[in-house]
Structure 1
């Protein structure tokens, strides 16, 4: 079975002084999180879409899903997220295991709630190659030179840009394998995690690449909201 897992656990501190987490801000005529859910809900491969958000926002999220998705709202379950990104993903896996069972073929397509411009093609390839390889990450080639600084004051190295990629989401995994690898990590290893793909890398497992899109942006800063609004308006003209 294939499940969509939409990660909405952040509070959006980098967005500045706003009254709500950034995933609930409106772009166009809908909250960002609804735009994102809609990209998943049109794909018939998913047994369920699991949305994970901060505890104080669970009921509000359920109301938004009902308001904007109508009959399709039954395909969505809203759960409380965890204390970190990976603990939030583990919450989704625990739900799947309790409600549907977990086997070697159970697949989760995890995605940032504040990346509302992913395409059907990106989702389709995540599922296809997730099934084939067990772990895939969506990336785009780095266009800027990447500079490494160990201390934050001088350049330590300048990696070969042709080998550098910028990570996006979705990230797709065989859920049981991800759970087993995560539970085998030491506390120190968990401390250095940035996302779920790194769990596989730490354990020497291969993570295959899916080509993303430049416009598959993550809405993080106030400027990103203006860019997103422009993209939404441009889509309406087509």
Structure 2
């Protein structure tokens, strides 16, 4: 059976949400958002440890909240970086197992089944993605070209990778002073190797702006009704 480290990115400081605290502490159905993610993965036998890169000022609070829920999987918090990429890098340096799963604390609607499908997928590099349902053009102030949306993918998390290979790619990016918005693009840049894309879910949103919080509440209510 494969064994995985799990990195839960919790480095955000809530600027886009206009908050004085990291957005992962926002309550959804009475629980901090990141707790919903931990509840989905706790007890998955392949996941042997959880590493949470978070802002230095909130490490103690994160640990406090976690203790209240009594998770069985070993969890440790580490200081995150100034950027998302740096937080992943710091998490990878702490990872003890050959394979790693990466997820974001503010994507609470990922399902346990999606995690299990990711772990079971044959390729060592696997992500979730969605088709893009709108037209995308290349350009900033003026249109410079067309993009074929049937050849594009909206990248979601979670992802899984070989830990050492992803860490090496991050080290290369640091040396080259390149920044990427997520790990699939970084990994592909250095390896040009196959990354499997699993079908994502429209419910698996990332909560980053005030409007996302309202959408999240609606999704939660809908999922409760479906389960009922």
User: What is the TM-score of this pair, normalised by structure 1?
Assistant: 0.87
Match of 2:14 in 1: 12
1:43 aligns with 2:44: yes
Equivalenced residue count is 223
The range that moved more, 193-202 or 168-177, is 193-202
Superposition pairs of residues 46-61 of structure 1, within 5 angstroms: 46-61=47-62
Match of 1:140 in 2: 130
The range that moved more, 56-65 or 194-203, is 194-203
Distance 1:38 1:186 in 2: 33
Superposition pairs of residues 110-129 of structure 1, within 5 angstroms: 110-129=102-121
Report the alpha carbon displacement of residue 74 of structure 1 after superposing the two structures with TM. Answer: 5.3
Match of 1:80 in 2: 79
Aligned with residue 182 of structure 1, among 170, 176, 184:
170
Match of 2:210 in 1: 222
Deviations 1:44-89 (A, max 9, x none): 221011111110000000011011x22x255322221123222212
Spell out structure 1 runs of 4+ moving beyond 6 A.
none
Structure 1 unaligned segments of length 5 or more: list them.
Answer: none
Q: How has the CA–CA distance of structure 1 residues 25 and 186 changed in structure 2, closer, same or farther, with 3 Å as cutoff?
A: closer
> 2:146 is paired with a residue of what secondary structure?
coil
Match of 1:31 in 2: 32
> 1:191 is paired with a residue of what secondary structure?
coil
Distance 1:27 1:36 in 2: 11
Judge conservation of contact 2:85–2:179 (CA < 8 Å) in 1: no
1:201 aligns with 2:171: no
Report the alpha carbon displacement of residue 180 of structure 1 after superposing the two structures with TM. Answer: 1.8
> 2:52 is paired with a residue of what secondary structure?
strand
Judge conservation of contact 1:141–1:165 (CA < 8 Å) in 2: yes
Match of 1:191 in 2: 178
Distance 1:235 1:182 in 2: 37
> 1:215 is paired with a residue of what secondary structure?
coil
The structure richer in helix per residue is 1
Distance 2:113 2:36 in 1: 16
> 2:144 is paired with a residue of what secondary structure?
coil
> 1:15 is paired with a residue of what secondary structure?
coil
Distance 2:78 2:57 in 1: 11
Question: Over aligned residues, Cα RMSD in angstroms?
Answer: 1.7
Distance 1:213 1:9 in 2: 24
Judge conservation of contact 1:137–1:208 (CA < 8 Å) in 2: yes
Match of 2:93 in 1: 94
